[in-house]
Amino acid sequence: MKRVEDYVTSIPDYPEPGIIFRDVTSILQDADGLRLAIDGLQDCLKGLEFDVIAGTESRGFIFGMPIAYNLHKPFVLVRKKGKLPRETVSMSYDLEYGSAEIEMHRDSIKPGQKVVLIDDLIATGGTIEAAAKLVELLGGEVVKMVFLMELAGLKGRERLKKYEVESVICYDGK
């Protein structure tokens, strides 16, 4: 029986020498791989009480939406600045070479709601940390962060130590 990691395509020396790029599109292109990925992420939520699933653009949408549907939970979009049509709250964060900004609709999280954040990858943790701060700004509580893949060598989990973090696949390197 195949595991979800068997569907990940690893591309050496991309985008630069010494890096192994872990491509999730090969998971999406195979119905069995996609099922294993969604089921693996959803299994991380067993026994957890929460109200809302939020996903970061764009792969957090891909993986978070089916789980929200399966568990009959609302889904909240965390998008790049300027992509949401109604009143928003925003948070800036640092990237390796520069900065970025993400937003959520101001009414997307109600005070006291328990929120699960889902994304495809935890690397340095900057994007998901900014998403968590947005949830908290709106009065929500991040009860768990779930990722399909983790690049442990980039130490994102350390940055997120105040949150419960779980990944389906963990790679030791970067």
What are the residue numbers of the active site? Answer: 59, 96
How far, in Å, are 26, 81, 85, 142 from residue 43 at the CA level?
A: 21, 31, 33, 18
C-alpha angle with apex 100: 153 to 137, nearest 5 degrees? 95
First vs last C-alpha separation in the chain: 27
Pick the closest to residue 79 from 99, 58, 53, 110 (CA basis): 58
Give the separation between CA 32 and CA 79, rounded to whole angstroms. 28
